[in-house]
Structure 1
Amino acid sequence: MASNSFQRLSLVRSTKFDQLDRNDPYWSFQFPTTVKEDNNISHVAFNPHSPHELLVTSGFHMRIFSRQSAKIGKTFTRFREKCYSGNWRNDGNLICAGSEEGVVRVFDKGTLARAPLREFAAHHDCCQVTTFTADGKCIVSGADDGKVKLWDVSRGDKVSEMLVHNDYVRAGAAAPNDPNIFCSGGYDNTVNMLDMRANEITMSFNHGSFVESVAVFPSLSLIVSAGGPIVKVWDTHRKKLLTTISNHTKNVSSICFNDSHTKLLTAGLDKRVNIFELNDYSRSATVEFDAPVLSMALSNGDRTLAAGTAGGYLFVRHRNEHIVKNVPEVEKHLYKELEQGGSYHKKPNAEAPFTYKVEKKDVGQDPVKLDNETTHKRKAHENRYNKLFRQFEYKKVLSMGLGYNIRRKRPEVLVAIFEELHRRNVLTKTMASRSEAEVAAILRFLGRYLTDLNWQPILIVVMEKVIELYSQKAARSESLLKLMKALNYKVNQELRLIKECNNCIGMIESLTSRSAELPNTRLPQVRRKSEVLEASNLETSMEA
């Protein structure tokens, strides 16, 4: 193999959450406060100006809560039906909200009056998307009729109207720096970027499932869409998909950026809020809640995280400043940049195909270039296992992978080594003539990670090779025979679980088909305690 055609090993993460990296201390939220509402909390938003009050949209009212103590400050109840999407204007003085009857209302935060300042008979169907434009002069609304409309706040007139979706409009985000750009997402699986001034769709992307939430990068270079358990990042310059994030097990309901736009936060019905780096889209932290998360917001400076959940629970958590103070001095500058919202730079040696660099500079200012300026190329760091593969040292690379540090602390590296050896058709030759300790290490590794869905195909191949090469040797060794029996028990247990899952799927399909034929017939409830426990254990096994 030529050196210029050598491909580095691609590491595949485990599906188990406990194998992920530890949470970044910066995202350690403590001091939780829980507030109970009467209905599901469909939307939460922090005031962009101090003291950064929290606006909560739930059922037939909106409420303003204190960020620090979560005490109720003001309640808006002038809604005939359910209200949706309560958002602040950039100056923090006005609030807009849609409603189920299609009326868009504008409220004043400062006065004692709770009656709306403006009412727009915007749509004939349910309006679940409302937001102010970047200049604060207009409101954009989207409804179940597939239309997006622009309204002038001061005059109360409709500025423009566009039919952009063939189904419900359930997601929308205005460009932070351009009052004419709006991004919408609908249940027709599309994400559209709209030019409200030209009244046209500038670009459209197919998400592949119902779009529940969208977010727009300040430079308009990225659009992030969420639908189903998948989050997709779109490159608007190249007009194509940049990456796909699939760290949720259930539908993703809300997404947003942090204050410095260096992190992406995603909330889902799996009761988790995941935080990802924007330079390589790796997960840096996870915040867990007690109920499915329907809405999420992060305050200025990333100091407070608010989550609205199903069942009407509002969770307000504050970041622990003491944990950040205990960070080593070498890493403190990273947290300082996040606090101040400074520049966003790529991590050194990070393997990312395309990244963005955003700095706070004056628009139109060109960087200063010096004459006779020289640049030095840095040689990219290459891991040891890649060097050994480049030198065709297959025996050494497998021995290195079976070491304790790789096998227990970085199992994805050993899995990648197995895959590369299998791809080069040298797996059998490399695994032959191994010592008893190395064979025992392979058997322990198989017993630990054989049930992982991402690694199962290659580990099954490795298990077949081990049985083929060392079955006779295991019969003469008591330790190897014990490990073989344990692996056999693990495989039989996995087969029984698969069989039970298939039986459960068959029963569910028969019940659903039967209920479709008899819509008025109710299924009998499980009464016995043993059956309840068995069903819950089966559901837990299926989710795993």
Structure 2
Amino acid sequence: MSAPLQRLNRSKLPTHPSASANPEQRFWHSFKSPLLINDYASITSIHFSPSTPHDFAITSSTRVQIFSSKTRKVSKTISRFKETAYSGTIRSDGRLLVAGDHSGLVQVFDLNSRAILRTWDQHKQPVQAAKWSPNSVTCVLTASDDSTVRLWDLPTGEVTSCFIGHRDYVRQASFLPAGSAIGGGAGGGLVVSGGYDGTVRLWDPRVPTSTSTATNIDNSDSHSPAVMTLTHPSAIDALLPMPGSTTILAASGPVVHVWDIIAAKPLLQLSNHQKTVTSLAYTINKNLTIDTPNPTASSRRVITGGLDGHVKVYDTTSWQVVHGIKYPAPILSLAISPEEKHLVVGMVNGLISIRTRTSGKEKEREREKEKQMQALLTGAPMDGGRKKKTKAEERRLRGIKYTGDADSVVLEEKLKTVHLRPYEKDLRAQRFAEALDKVLIGNAPALTTYTLLSTLKHRSALKSALANRDEATLSPVLKWLTKNLHRPAYVELIVDVALLVLDMYGHAIGQSPMIDALLRDMRQKVNVEVKQSMTALRIGGMVGMLVQGAGGEGVTA
């Protein structure tokens, strides 16, 4: 009995290696449904309301836009600025907003009516940092290019503290978060600021005040000296006090410095960005903790964004990069919502990216897809939760019919009619040259020709298929080799076939102008591919040096 007919299976080309996603990657990959919004000016600030429903304020040009966290659309616009606005920040109760501008003016707005409730004009240069105290709803912190940092009392409109010590622009300032080991105290707690003089300074409003003698500060202002100064090699562009700890992150150029403010010493440096780091944020990653059976001691993550267009996520237990996202333009600001639903990034060209985590039915669909993909990779059955098929249904699906009674079961295989292609018939009949001619002259897909040549090589029939050819039948072989030389997966086979052709027909070179022209074309194509390969090797070496110079793991002591 002859063997059943079988069609020629196409060759499987090598694919890129893939690794199964861990819980961390699955969490950050769940930020899908990207929404891109084009603004007409750079996005200088993004801030989420601490209170539900966690709407967020985006500051650009002379306005602050309030976006709904439910619809991701603009719900309110505050445009009562004459100069460029900065640092629109929502109060903890979600009712008020404070912002500074390029003229030095600081304004407090009612978000419902958009009315101006308070205006401060003591700063004479741009105010690029304005924050609400986490401990007091009536205390506001501002930092200005006039090198001062001030605390304001909202009901009276008076300055309660003026911190003087920076020698250049101060564009970053923040309260130490509530619950920090040293963050308590009057006036909203300790204050930390970062300036273009390369210093991070820690201020305590409880320290007795003295009279300022600085030429650019009103002599009637009282100020408190810094209780700690941390020096960096360049300007401070971003500052982040970590909640519930004694750690402060300061971005100086492309490096993020991690400080222990109790010991007043640096812990480590994060050097994963190639350009200036402009924004820092953190998240508790509650969803990751829930999805992970054995979570690590801390699920807190730090998020950084830089002018290189990269967002990087760090695990604060090891300070390793656990995820990264590439954006199309330099990043100026970013924020993640308290409930970890939205990741918003603002760019220099006015582009706003809003990524939202999948939830509800959509999340269930994603999980079902992951289960099916995992089952496909492991070979497990993919019933998808459906009703199990009966044995009769399974037999029908497999093309097997049942004959006999319950006591005598006989399975008879249902033979299927197999229709061979013309070149497969020639291959079965060992007409190797005819099979090769049919795929070459018939303009078959490149993969079909590759599969046939691979089969002929494995059967040691390649020489027979190429033998006794004239100018008309050899030229299609040379054309196919030259045309597909740029495919990396085909190169090894093409080299074997080309060497065999040269060995068999080398004596005839110079006798046919057509064959000589095809060989010249192949030679030029080979030279081009060699040059491109050398360029790729040089670029690969440079990239390897950059990765090694960046520390590989992203942490240097």
5+ residue gaps, structure 1: 1-17, 329-485, 499-544
Say whether 1:171 aligns with 2:209.
Answer: no
Q: TM-score, normalised by structure 2?
A: 0.54
Structure-2 separation of matches of 1:49 and 1:496: 48
Structure-2 separation of matches of 1:316 and 1:497: 36
Structure-1 separation of matches of 2:537 and 2:269: 33
**Structure showing greater Rg:** 2
Which residue among 202, 206, 210 is the counterpart of 1:197?
206
Deviations 1:243-271 (A, max 9, x none): 10011111111001114571100011111
Displacement of 1:276: 0.3
Partner of 1:295: 333
Partner of 2:153: 152
- Asked whether the equivalents of residues 129 and 144 of structure 2 are also in contact (C-alpha less than 8 Å), the reply is yes
Partner of 1:281: 319
Alignment-mate amino acid for residue 253 of structure 1: T
Displacement of 1:155: 1.1
Partner of 2:131: 131
Structure-1 separation of matches of 2:539 and 2:69: 51
Alignment-mate amino acid for residue 106 of structure 2: V
Which residue among 295, 310, 319 is the counterpart of 1:272?
310
Question: In the TM superposition, what are the counterparts of 1:258-407 in structure 2 within 5 Å?
Answer: 258-259=283-284, 262-321=300-359, 322=363, 325=367
- Asked whether the equivalents of residues 172 and 238 of structure 2 are also in contact (C-alpha less than 8 Å), the reply is yes
Which residue among 89, 94, 97 is the counterpart of 1:95?
97
Question: In the TM superposition, what are the counterparts of 1:103-142 in structure 2 within 5 Å?
Answer: 103-110=105-112, 112=113, 114-134=114-134, 135-142=136-143
Partner of 2:244: 219
Alignment-mate amino acid for residue 197 of structure 1: R
Alignment-mate amino acid for residue 80 of structure 2: R
Displacement of 1:288: 2.1
- Asked whether the equivalents of residues 78 and 115 of structure 1 are also in contact (C-alpha less than 8 Å), the reply is no
- Asked whether the equivalents of residues 123 and 143 of structure 1 are also in contact (C-alpha less than 8 Å), the reply is yes
Partner of 1:208: 233
Structure-1 separation of matches of 2:234 and 2:94: 34
2:236 counterpart SS class: coil
Displacement of 1:496: 13
Partner of 2:462: none
5+ residue gaps, structure 2: 1-17, 179-183, 208-223, 286-298, 372-529, 543-557
Paired residues, number: 321
Question: In the TM superposition, what are the counterparts of 1:176-187 in structure 2 within 5 Å?
Answer: 176-177=177-178, 178=184, 179-187=188-196
Partner of 2:40: 38
Structure-2 separation of matches of 1:104 and 1:78: 12
Alignment-mate amino acid for residue 269 of structure 1: L
Partner of 2:211: none
Which residue among 277, 291, 309 is the counterpart of 1:252?
277
- Asked whether the equivalents of residues 141 and 174 of structure 2 are also in contact (C-alpha less than 8 Å), the reply is no
- Asked whether the equivalents of residues 174 and 183 of structure 1 are also in contact (C-alpha less than 8 Å), the reply is yes
Structure 1 pair 30–160 and aligned structure 2 pair: CA distance change class (3 A):
same
Structure-1 separation of matches of 2:540 and 2:282: 44
Displacement of 1:325: 4.8
Alignment-mate amino acid for residue 241 of structure 2: V
Which residue among 49, 52, 55 is the counterpart of 2:54?
52
Q: TM-score, normalised by structure 1?
A: 0.55
- Asked whether the equivalents of residues 164 and 225 of structure 2 are also in contact (C-alpha less than 8 Å), the reply is no
Percent identity, aligned pairs only, is: 31
- Greater displacement, 223-232 / 317-326: 317-326
Displacement of 1:204: 1.4
Structure 1 pair 101–493 and aligned structure 2 pair: CA distance change class (3 A):
same
Alignment-mate amino acid for residue 121 of structure 1: D
Poorly superposed stretches of 4+, deviation over 3 Å: 323-328, 489-498
1:49 counterpart SS class: coil
Structure-2 separation of matches of 1:231 and 1:496: 27
Structure-2 separation of matches of 1:231 and 1:307: 19
Partner of 2:260: 235
Displacement of 1:194: 1.2
Structure-1 separation of matches of 2:79 and 2:167: 32
